[in-house]
Amino acid sequence: MVPQFRATTVQWIVALGMVAFAIASRLLVDLLFPGAAPYAINVPAVLAATLIGRLRAGMITLVLTSIITWYAVVPIQFSFRFLAPSDAPRTLVNIATSLILVLLAEFGRRSFRDLLHEREARIDERDMLLREVDHRVKNNLAVLASLLRLQQRETHHDEVRIALEKAANRVHSLAAAYENLHYDGGDVAVVRLDEFLDRLCRSLAQALAIGDSVRIVVTADRCLLARDRASAVGLFVNEAVTNAVKHAFAARPGGTIRVSLKGDQGHATLTVVDDGVGLPDGDIRDGAKGHKYLEAFATIARARMTSDSDATGTCYTLTLDEMP
């Protein structure tokens, strides 16, 4: 009962506001053209009242503006009598026209509202289906990693066991990146890359159990990136950070890995830098395959990768173009 009372009150307020607007407009017009187009000034007020306050507000505005115009504008002024025989039919025609306008405006408003609700329902359904797909993908990746580790424990060949361990670790990395690939309901195709990287690096710090020995510092500008490219960027960061944690500080008690994202007008630069021992003699940390994985992830992300290493550490740079 209370919401209905509030709705009625709001509709009356809207109607009275539009009536005041019509009166003010009539006074301004009369300064230059006294009595011109007496009912035409009411049309914008009636239309606005219907669109803003719904049918009731439009009908109230129509009735009040028609009465005021009939009484104060149409000759004989300040009387409900007509000066010319044609004034009465003209008044009825204008009122009927305004009534049709109110009904059409209300029909259009309701049609737009129904379309909006239908669109929202489709978006909710799409989000629900996408979350279900995400859940299934994450579960499947977890099952795959478990199967690889199970097979690793059952094999007696060292090379096979090492290969299976690396495969399981990479599947786990893929699952971790995918799990942190959240999105906003407004647009499932675009991801806030800065938030994604922050969540991903925090998950990596927990998964790798680095404690206080290695710090992962993330500084990122606000950037938007297509979902498929963001997943590849996440895999790139996952690979680079994991390699740094495992190998960069082999001869040190610890160090710092910095993940930085700088964005500017459709372009972004991502760097993963550690202050470790660097690559020995220009070799590639974690074997040639590790570097090939990074290159592959950069290609999937449609980005350019460069790397640099010396005795003070290693830096990987990813350049992203054509961002949203």
Per-residue pLDDT 10s for the chain (324 aa) are 556 778 888 899 999 999 999 999 888 888 888 878 888 888 899 999 999 989 999 999 999 999 998 888 888 888 888 888 888 888 888 889 889 989 999 999 899 999 999 988 888 887 788 778 777 877 888 888 888 888 888 888 888 887 887 777 777 767 766 666 655 545 667 888 888 898 888 888 877 777 778 899 999 999 888 888 888 898 899 889 888 888 888 777 788 999 999 988 788 999 999 988 887 655 554 445 667 888 999 999 999 999 888 888 899 999 998 776
- Identify the pLDDT of residue 185: 47
- Identify the pLDDT of residue 274: 92
The pTM (predicted TM-score) of the whole model is 0.58
Q: How far is it, in rounded angstroms, from Cα 214 to Cα 205?
A: 9
DSSP letter for 83, please.
S
- Identify the pLDDT of residue 3: 66
- List Cα–Cα distances, 203 to 101, 110, 237, 293, 320, in angstroms: 59, 47, 12, 20, 24
Which letter, b or e, does each residue of 277-314 get, where b requires 16 or more Cβ atoms within 10 Å of its Cβ? bbbeeeebbbeeebbebbebbbeebebebebebeeebb
Report the greatest alpha carbon distance in the chain.
110
Q: Of the CATH numbers 3.20.20.70, 3.40.190.290, 2.60.40.1580, 3.30.565.10, which one belongs to the domain with range 188-324?
A: 3.30.565.10
Q: How far is it, in rounded angstroms, from Cα 218 to Cα 104?
A: 56
- Identify the pLDDT of residue 260: 95
**3-state class of 319 per DSSP?**
strand
The residue extents of the domains of the chain are: 2-119, 188-324
Proportion of the chain in helix, strand, coil states, percent, rounded to 5: 65, 15, 20
